[in-house]
Amino acid sequence: MTERYVVAIDQGTTSTRCIVFDRRGQLVSLAQQEHKQYYPRPGWVEHDAAEIWRNVERLGPEALRRAGATIDQVAAVGIANQRETTVLWDRVTGNPIGHAVVWQDTRTDTMVGALDDAPGADGVRHRSALPLATYFSGPRVRWMLDHHPGLRERAERGEVLFGTMETWLIWKLTGGLHVTDVTNASRTLLLDVHTLDWSPESLEFFGIPRAMLPEVRPSIGVFGTATAAFPGVRIGAALGDQQAALFGQTCFAPGEAKCTYGTGSFLLLNTGAELVRSTHGLLSTVAYQIKGEPAAYALEGSIAITGSLVQWFRDQLELIASAPEIETLARTVTDNGGCYIVPAFSGLYAPYWRSEARGVIVGLTSYITKGHLARAVLEASAWQTREVVDAMNADSGLALSTLRVDGGMTADNLLMQFIADVLDVPVVRPLAAETVSLGAAYGAGLAVGYWPDLEGLRRNWHRAAQWLPKMETQKRETEYGNWQRAVSRTFDWIQA
């Protein structure tokens, strides 16, 4: 019998990857392509959706070629995507209308500020279980409709379609199927998280025509059959990247949590069939929904800047030549020398949600070297994790006992050890750092029967590395106090 595989498309913020997985959930081959980032104005971030689709078209066959596999050996395709990034396109030509507006983009700042106080805002917050923030896609759709003449009329006539990245890719893959998955839909502010369908009241609040929205589907279940890139292959799953990582880490039971360290970092805790509303600055979100089953929910702690702080250190300060060298530089010293960096580059996300905050470097003395700065860069990711874990423990009433980690930064041993130290719990990396892609593959494989059930997937999970806490309590508390004082220095920097 010839080996069969599942392919994941991981459409991320900086690059698109196609990864071929085998039945053990192990990576067989990978093809990756970065796409261009457009920064037309301060605070604006855009992608060209057409470029991203061309990359998928090219990477799919390339990944299969590297695996030595043919298209008929592919059991299913799954999609994991950058969330909240907003694409509009023309139903007839299939061409994007303008660039996609990326999740980091803050152009809707003023509009969201005004909407936050408008009548009906409480209802939106209640139905979506989200705060009104520039982070989510609904306000972006409104902004695009307001700023492209004639677009609203065309959208009302159903000539213009909206989608997050998975919607766009499924539309291109199938040649015209307009659907979204429930996890991505839960990041728009437009979904009612209890009915799992678009809320007419929220659509009216934002002034977004129903005709432009995709149909909301479960995350795991056959969406359709691809006619391009993977012709003849069924699309078995689509999930927002962080939800995909939760699924890839096999956090299927309430109380199980993971943190993915990428450009930003995202800690998600499975809360089961129950939607938990945070009182400590976390988001409530749909974790996944398997077709024919109730949705599972999650609490999410989103940290805007972690890996991107290392990129800034490399590209803007030019103190290192490649991201992994941050560890080499940090190891030239034994501590941070009293220096702390709070990367509030575009405000602070969880648990503060302060859009007016801006980054600081504090504790500078003539003693500080670039090695200390490198330490402070890594430590910032760990302390931000600590703040989110504290909020999660308070909301859930449970203390996290182990942190499952994944993402590119898990290759950094100094960082992983420091996270274990500041959380005072073991940090565990599974035998698959690419959990975002793996989650999409697991979902797709489950949908077509390639994997029988969740238990089968759990058996694929193995511990690849573990870091145990070593820091003394006194030191941990002192350092945490310093960090929190540093954070307070970022507040109220941007004045209205």
Partner 1 sequence: MQSIERAAAVLRLLAGGTGRLSLAQISRSLDLAKGTVHGILQTLRKVGFVEQDRASGHYQLGAAMLRLGTGYLDVNELRSRSINWADPLAARSGEAVRIGTVLDGQVLVVHHVFRPDDTFQTLDVGSLLPIHATALGKALLAYGASVPNRLDRFTSRTLVNHRDLAGALRDVREAGWSADIEEHTPGEASIAAPIRAYGGLVVGAIGISGHVERICDSRYRPRPPLVANVRDAARAVSRDLGAARR
Among 317, 464, 481, 492, binds partner 1 (CB under 8 A): 464
Name the one range near partner 1 by CB under 8 A: 112-120, 149-157, 289-297, 430-438: 430-438
- Contact letters (x/-) for partner 1, 371-410, by CB under 8 A? -------------------------------------x-x
**25 near 441, Cβ under 8 Å?**
yes
- 247: which 2 tokens? 């699924």
Cβ at position 338, least distance to partner 1 in Å? 25
Q: Is 321 in the site for partner 1 (CB under 8 A)?
A: yes
Strand 5-11 to strand 74-81: parallel, antiparallel, or no bridges (unpaired)? Answer: parallel
DSSP state of 35: -
Q: Is 411 in the site for partner 1 (CB under 8 A)?
A: yes
Kindly calculate the radius of gyration of the chain based on its CA atoms and give it in whole angstroms: 22
Give whichever of 387 and 412 is closer to partner 1, judged by the CB atom: 412
* Closer to partner 1 by Cβ: residue 28 or 282: 28
Residue 471 binds partner 1, judged by CB under 8 A: no
Shortest Å, Cβ 262 to partner 1 = 13
Q: Which of 49, 212, 432, 457 binds partner 1 (CB under 8 A)?
A: 432
* Residue nearer to partner 1 on the CB measure, 87 or 432: 432
For the CB of residue 283, give the shortest distance to partner 1 in the complex, in Å.
29
Q: Return the SS3 of 94.
A: coil
Angstrom distance (rounded) from CA 422 to CA 249? 22
Residue type (1 letter), 122: D
Looking at residue 34, the DSSP 8-state letter turns out to be E
Q: What is the phi/psi pair of residue 346, to 5°?
A: -125, 50
User: What's the closest the beta carbon of residue 417 comes to partner 1, in angstroms?
Assistant: 9
Binding marks (x or -) toward partner 1, 325..364, rule CB under 8 A?
A: xxxx------------------------------------
Q: What is the per-residue DSSP string for 165-197?
A: HHHHHHHHHHTS--EEEHHHHTTSS-EETTTTE
The residue within the footprint of partner 1, chosen from 157, 194, 462, 475 (CB under 8 A), is 462
Nearer to partner 1, 24 or 36 (CB): 24
Helix (H) or strand (E) holding 303: strand 296-303
Give the amino acid at 1: M
State yes or no: residue 434 binds partner 1 (CB under 8 A). yes
**Non-local CB neighbours of 142 within 8 Å, separated by 6+ positions:** 108, 111, 206, 207, 208
CA distance 342 to 279: 23
Q: Which span (4-12, 34-42, 115-123, 425-433) binds partner 1, by CB under 8 A?
A: 425-433
Distances (CA, A) of 493 to 103, 239, 340, 347, 350: 22, 36, 17, 9, 18
> Alpha carbon of 431 to those of 233, 384, 434: distances in Å?
27, 25, 9
CA distance 245 to 266: 10
Min separation Cβ 328 and partner 1, Å? 5
At 139, the amino acid letter reads P
Q: How many residues bind partner 1 (CB under 8 A)?
A: 29
Q: Are 201 and 191 in contact (CB under 8 A)?
A: no
8 vs 28, beta carbon nearer partner 1: 28
The annotation places the binding site for ADP at 13, 17, 263, 307, 408
Residue 349 exposed, middle or buried by CB count within 10 Å (0-12, 13-18, 19+)? buried
Closest distance to partner 1 from the beta carbon of 408 (Å):
7
CB closer to partner 1, 312 vs 493: 312
Residue among 389 and 416 whose Cβ is closer to partner 1: 416
Residue 202, by phi and psi: left (phi above 0), alpha (psi -120 to 50) or beta?
A: alpha
Shortest distance (Å) from residue 432 CB to partner 1: 6
Binding-site sequence positions: 13-15, 17, 83-84, 135, 241-242, 263, 307, 311, 408
Per-residue mark of binding to partner 1, 13-52 (x: CB under 8 A): -----------xxxxx-x----------------------
Judged by DSSP in three states, 28 sits in strand
Among 273, 364, 431, 494, binds partner 1 (CB under 8 A): 431
Q: Which residues bind partner 1 (CB under 8 A)?
A: 24-28, 30, 321-328, 408, 410-413, 431-434, 462-467
